[in-house]
Amino acid sequence: MMVVMGILEKIIHIFIPRSSNNHKAKLLHSSSLLVIASLLVVWQGILTFLPSIGPNILGYAAQISPDEIIRFTNEKRTSAGLSALTLNTTLSSAAYTKGRDMIERDYWAHVAPDGTQPWKFFSDAGYRYRYAGENLARDFTNPTSTVNAWMDSPTHRENILNSKYKEIGIGVIEGDLAGVDTTIVVQFFGTGYSDVVTQPLAVNNIETVEKVESITTIVPSNLSPSSPEPSPSIVPIVVSSSPIPTIKAVFTQPQPTQRVLISPFTTTKSISLGVVGILLAVFLVDSLIVSKRKIARIGGRTFAHMAFLGMILSIVIILKSGQIL
């Protein structure tokens, strides 16, 4: 019984203003706010640096299914009165190759550091396009938030709702980008020439996690229907019109290494919102009690402390949220 009473006293001391805490909830004291902010910074540091210690220590979990990306994209198109896009596995191969190129060469942009344009990946995969477009995203935890982020950006939305596109390919790639374990989603749009025939290919889903950056473009090809077929050099999935027998290539996105998987963005956001909610509740209770009891506090700066902590939490959330370019 004494133990229970002691715990109850501690809880009251932390959350309710009284003489033992100078008539201000202990949780709202400067020292407590500093401890909370420090713990959040330490937690963010663990999420950022622990994966670099060993590949099996910590990883990122995301439920990014290429099929779901396509389904949500087509839902947006049909809602706008447009026809649904058809999955083209050559485009998926090209999109995956573009994502791998960003991971391996450590860049996050539509154009590679050496000036390589995204359209080269279309041609290298054997996709002869009349129109082509690209959207990029990184560190989203699910397909819905990924597509919604694109739709919230006018340029990306224009790509998704462009009537000139007939086909789509999705690549989901997980790897180290700038020292951080990252999930990249590459969305390729295209309209090819009618004489190009592609073989179906298996594209496996990858479980990977949330930061986003995307860019969109529409580029007409300088190829003509009579132009020779580009010589595929990266994972080609093309059937030649030549009578020579062809080999069907099957493109499979590799599964990530087995390890402890979490979603750093979702975890940080949930913890931050939880802390803010608790502090706001304590702040309201504290204000009501102080007002009702007409307690005069000298040097009380609760509002300034709340604003300071709110700023820190906002920065943490913004840094880990998706980015649209």
Q: Render each residue's pLDDT in the chain as its tens digit; 325 residues.
A: 778 888 888 888 888 888 888 888 888 888 888 888 888 778 777 766 665 555 444 455 556 899 999 999 999 999 999 999 999 999 999 999 999 999 999 999 999 999 999 999 999 999 999 999 999 998 887 899 899 999 999 999 999 999 999 999 999 998 888 777 788 999 999 998 763 444 433 333 333 233 333 444 444 444 444 343 333 323 322 222 223 333 333 444 544 444 445 555 566 667 777 888 888 888 888 888 888 887 766 555 556 666 666 666 665 555 555 555 4
Please list the alpha-helical segments (H only) found in the chain. 2-15, 30-53, 66-79, 89-105, 119-124, 143-152, 154-160, 264-293, 302-320
What pLDDT sits at residue 323? 54
DSSP string of 77-127, one letter each residue: HHHTTPPPPEE-HHHHHHHHHHHHHHHHHT--SSS-TT---THHHHHHTT-
Chain centroid offset of residue 54 CA: 23
d(CA 118, CA 135): 10
Which pair of tokens denotes residue 304?
Answer: 């300034």
d(CA 43, CA 95): 34
Task: Please report the sign of the dihedral spanned by the C-alpha atoms of residue 163, residue 167, residue 172, residue 177.
Answer: negative
Q: Which residues contact 107 (CB under 8 A, 6 or more apart)?
A: 113
Q: What is the pTM of this model?
A: 0.59
b/e 252-277 (16+ beta carbons within 10 angstroms → b): ebeebeeeeeebbbbbbbebbeebbe
Tokens 């191969």, residue located: 93
For 128-278, list the strands marked E by DSSP: 129-138, 167-177, 180-192, 206-207, 218-220, 261-262
Of the candidates 242, 255, 264, 107, the residue with the CA atom closest to the CA atom of residue 181: 264
3-state secondary structure (DSSP) of residue 30: helix
> Cβ–Cβ contacts within 10 Å for residue 122, how many?
27
d(CA 170, CA 158): 17
